[in-house]
Amino acid sequence: MMEDERQRALLQRAVEGDPHATEQLLWAHYDHLHQFIEKNISAVVRSTVSADDILQETFVVAWQQIGSFEDRHADALYTWLRAIAKNKLTDRVRRQAAAKRGGGRAAVQHRGGQSSLVNLVELVVASAKSPSGSVAHREAERITLVTLARLKEDYREAITLRYLEGRSVGETAAAMGRTERSIQMLCNRALKKLREALGRSSQYLSKRS
């Protein structure tokens, strides 16, 4: 009962615009939502999209629309997030079909078999000068993905192209129509925000355990 009350209080704060409350709610639903997405990715797009990709897109929508969320029953938030994820999965299938017909940009093929998120997390954790060094790697993944979805669009796009899609600085600059110096600045600032999120989250995570 106490946990339900705490979750409702967090949700109320999130709806009212508290970003830290939103972070905590999304962290809490990360694992179940990731499992749902992984289970439901169509074979048609599995080679070009990962659960992390869909989860990031889902969290972006959640950050944008949490202020209009109204339902307050216990499972409402997860149900809402799952519906967003299902829409994103459907969108990916449609975009893949359109790309094959020549009507859209082809998705980037995943390299290796390892999630590109792992490399980004290792970069953030290795250079983080905060108590977050004690945060488990799996926790660091969820924190990184939630925070990435929260970033301004240009920060998020630079990090996604540079580190998640593995493009060079020059390729990222060309894709975004910016200079290489500008891309380096965007990436540095975005990485700083991700490191700050790890430091901030370490206190919250230690209270849960």
Every domain of the chain and the residues it spans = 1-110, 111-209
Interatomic CA distance for residues 175 and 131, integer angstroms: 36
pLDDT at residue 112, rounded to an integer: 36
Weakly modelled stretches of the chain, pLDDT under 50: 1, 104-114, 130-134, 205-207, 209
CATH number attached to the domain at 1-110: 1.10.1740.10
pLDDT at residue 186, rounded to an integer: 96
Q: What is the dihedral of CA 118, 136, 38, 68, to 10 degrees?
A: -100
> Is residue 43 helix, strand or coil?
coil
Interatomic CA distance for residues 27 and 30, integer angstroms: 5
Interatomic CA distance for residues 10 and 15, integer angstroms: 9
Per-residue pLDDT reduced to its tens digit, 72-124: 666 899 999 999 999 999 998 888 877 777 654 444 444 433 457 778 888 88
Pick the CATH number of 111-209 from 3.90.180.10, 3.40.50.720, 3.40.50.2300, 1.10.10.10: 1.10.10.10
CA angle, 197 then 199 then 200, to 5°:
65
pLDDT at residue 113, rounded to an integer: 36
182: amino acid identity, one letter: S
